[in-house]
Structure 1
Amino acid sequence: MHDRFSRLTSLSASLLLALSVSGTHLRAESMSPGQANQACGSPSSIDDGWEIASPDDVGMDGAQLCSIAARLEQRATAVHSIVVIRHGKLVFEQYFPGYDQPWGQTDGQYEFAATTKHDMRSATKSVTSLLVGIAIDRKLIAGVDEPVLKFFPDSAAVKQPGWDAITLRHLLTMSSGITWDEARAWTDPKNDEPHLVFEADPIGYVLAKPVAAPPDVLWAYNGGGTELLGNILEHVSGKPLETFAREMLFQPLGITDVEWKTYKNGKIAAAAGLRLRPRDAAKIGQLVLNHGRWKGQQIVPADWIAQSITPRFQAVGYFGGTLFYGYQWWMGRSLAGGKEIKWVAAFGWGGQRVFIVPELDLVVMTSAAQYGQPKEGLAAIDILSNIVIPSVRDAH
């Protein structure tokens, strides 16, 4: 689950406090000179397709949103970016400098701004799921009940008992039953995830795994299944996964600055490799909120979105087992003002989160570098539940 490559340090609390006191964006090199004087959380004017509005325009309390930096200091947790969308309009964004180890780049201190890409880590899985839905809609794949071995007729899995019963749906819901364990230290040889990085044939590694239980019996977090889905997409489209994604998803969304990283073995990381600008990651959330539509264009079938965010399994063993899992999407809830508010989310290791709150017409995106930290993800859910949702003055 964790896409772990090294231990990262957290953002200094003193710097966060300085930011909260100043109430302004810290200017990065990629930002225009005038942006340094913007009001707290005021979105940058970038031609990326977002309509910009003030929190007041969409029924939100801007002053409450501006308390996010102080809340982070109070909690002693760090993030790199926060983006808030309401009623399809970008109303708040804030960026904080800090230590990061971006995939393929030198680790160290980085400035973050609206034009800075960030690792999405396992939030990539949710994007891969959208691409599967597009492929089914384009008749490249018959449906989720297609057997996995249909796409790998010469693999070792053909000889493994139980593999013939595994379908694409089982990969999407992480209920395939194959032996897989990512809940171990990165250096533990029994952790399956590093094999995706270092094996010469990572797809072969996944297909050679024995089956521990029949499909639909055991839910187990499994990035290997997502890698199979990515490989299948390449097979049926006849294109590299990144090319297929650009043509079918990113270009229609107006996402032009994107990277999809490869593992050290050269295999594109369908489970973890996306790097996106936070504002572009929020577009993915808005797409799901809009039932697959963006600016009047149906990019992903509405039915696929509905299937993807339908709770199918209790995510036993992860986040206290309080979350549900769909087609590579998480489902949970927040308590705000004495009321339970349901949400859907893409989760990435280290604090990458895209929250979709349908009943409030709200999308919240965070990025961070809380890799392997006890407080990983705390900042994101705290901001969502205790600041952003309560800042909504109306439910319409």
Structure 2
Amino acid sequence: MFRVYSDRANWGKCLKLVVVAICVSSIASFSVVSMAEDQAPGTSLPKSTPESQGVSSKGLLEFIETADREVDSMHSFMLVRNGYVVAEAWWEPESPQKPHILWSLSKSFTSTAIGLAVEEGKLSINDPVLDYFPESSPEDVSSNLKAMRIRDLLTMTTGHQDEVNLRNESDWIKAFLAHPVPHKPGTHFRYNTPATFMLSAILQKVTGETVVEYLGPRLFEPLGIQFPQWDANPQGISIGGYGLYLRTEDIAKFGQLYLQRGKWNGEQLIPEEWIAEATSKQVSNGSNPSSDWDQGYGFQFWRCRHDAFRGDGKDGQFCIVIPEYNAAVAITANTRNMQSELNIVWDKLLPALSNSPLAADEAALKNLNEAISNLKASR
């Protein structure tokens, strides 16, 4: 499958990425190790043994075995506790250096770009969407369309009853603005990937850069995320709502950054106020207490049970941040039951976390490594 690199051709870097991916694609790997002394700041997350960070190797083994048995199929997993990677696993043929499709987990990165643009004074989330695209406005503009704000794009409350299908459209912006808006914006939650595309289009309009280009020096480079890939639409606009490809550790870094309220290596990359707003419940999206899709929605982030929040994508891509446990979890997969995948995190992984360091358990750690060494994705 062809993928656009950084929305622009950069064949030298693309070739390097392809070579690296080919070289490592057949290697299944797992590591739970002590903190490496040669870690380069901003490049790789530091590592530690599970027990030293209050994580049970036995509990991790139970989580891994349950996920391997019940999720069809797991691709990768990484747990960051107290800022240290304490467990990481890849189901062959996935590997540490292989980028993975994020699907709608991409939305949380687009939201981050909007937050940075707000901080730089390039836009306000209370701006009307139409103000940015007067040339694409339909002839008959409804009052609801006039009332639609950037905030409504962020919270999936644009007023649409149904998503507009952009895939067969030549002009995505015009098609979005021409779509009926039967509900008053801000009052009706409707998951809406085209709304995230519009956030990407607005950002590109005010900065002259695609989302991936804009995030380069502001997010990807400080976090040591190399070669981010983000597919673009026919007009060269990053799709925004999906299309981003990153490594598992890159997802974990993003989660850890949000856990640290936007601070990285002593630098405030994302305003703390934006982190608080984006990850809090901005709108209600249901009332089922056992569903992680009914706990509220922020700015392209879902609220979860256990007072957690996440970005997620189709087929089981997760970046889960659990402030109460000072933990961030990255998972990639190919499953049709994402709630079941999350249930395993809550039922098996959380009980493995303690509030204080645990005694070393070499036998359990050995069993964990042995169990993981033969992991293979079922498809």
TM-score, scaled relative to structure 1: 0.77
Q: Counterpart in 2 of 1:139? A: 121
For residue 300 of structure 2, the aligned residue among 328, 339, 343 is 328
Q: Counterpart in 1 of 2:132? A: 151
Query: C-alpha distance in 2, partners of 1:269/1:82?
Result: 26
Query: C-alpha distance in 2, partners of 1:70/1:275?
Result: 27
User: Do the aligned partners of 1:80 and 1:366 also contact (CA within 8 Å) in 2?
Assistant: yes
User: Do the aligned partners of 1:196 and 1:263 also contact (CA within 8 Å) in 2?
Assistant: no
Deviations 1:263-299 (A, max 9, x none): 4675421100110001001111111111111111111
Q: How does 1:290-309 map to 2 (within 5 A)?
A: 290-309=260-279
Q: How does 1:5-44 map to 2 (within 5 A)?
A: 29-30=23-24, 41-42=32-33
User: Do the aligned partners of 1:179 and 1:209 also contact (CA within 8 Å) in 2?
Assistant: no
Q: Which amino acid in 1 is paired with 2:346?
A: S
Residue 160 (structure 2) pairs with residue 178 (structure 1):
yes
Q: Counterpart in 2 of 1:196? A: 166
Q: CA deviation at 1:306?
A: 0.6
Give the match's secondary structure for 1:49: coil
Query: C-alpha distance in 2, partners of 1:154/1:81?
Result: 45
Greater strand content: 1
User: Do the aligned partners of 1:257 and 1:277 also contact (CA within 8 Å) in 2?
Assistant: no
The total of aligned residue pairs comes to: 330
Q: CA deviation at 1:31?
A: 7.7
Identity of counterpart residues, as a percentage?
A: 27
Give the match's secondary structure for 2:74: coil
Q: CA deviation at 1:198?
A: 2.8
Residue 352 (structure 2) pairs with residue 391 (structure 1):
yes
Give the match's secondary structure for 2:79: strand
User: Do the aligned partners of 2:78 and 2:248 also contact (CA within 8 Å) in 1?
Assistant: yes
Query: C-alpha distance in 2, partners of 1:173/1:72?
Result: 31
Query: C-alpha distance in 2, partners of 1:265/1:153?
Result: 17
- Label 1:216 to 1:283 Cα distance change in 2 as closer, same or farther (>3 A): same
Q: Which amino acid in 2 is paired with 1:65?
A: L
Q: Which amino acid in 2 is paired with 1:132?
A: I
Query: C-alpha distance in 2, partners of 1:395/1:147?
Result: 49
Uncovered stretches (5+) of structure 1, i.e. residues with no partner: 1-27, 98-110, 182-191, 334-340
User: Do the aligned partners of 1:359 and 1:395 also contact (CA within 8 Å) in 2?
Assistant: no
Q: Which amino acid in 1 is paired with 2:227?
A: D
Deviations 1:72-98 (A, max 9, x none): 24425321000100111111100113x
Query: C-alpha distance in 1, partners of 2:302/2:325?
Result: 18
Q: Counterpart in 1 of 2:319? A: 354
For residue 50 of structure 1, the aligned residue among 45, 48, 51 is 45
Query: C-alpha distance in 1, partners of 2:208/2:235?
Result: 21
Q: Counterpart in 1 of 2:239? A: 269
TM-score, scaled relative to structure 2: 0.80
RMSD: 2.6
Q: Counterpart in 2 of 1:66? A: 61
Q: Counterpart in 2 of 1:313? A: 283
- Label 1:114 to 1:49 Cα distance change in 2 as closer, same or farther (>3 A): same
Residue 239 (structure 2) pairs with residue 245 (structure 1):
no
Give the match's secondary structure for 1:242: helix
Q: CA deviation at 1:29?
A: 3.9
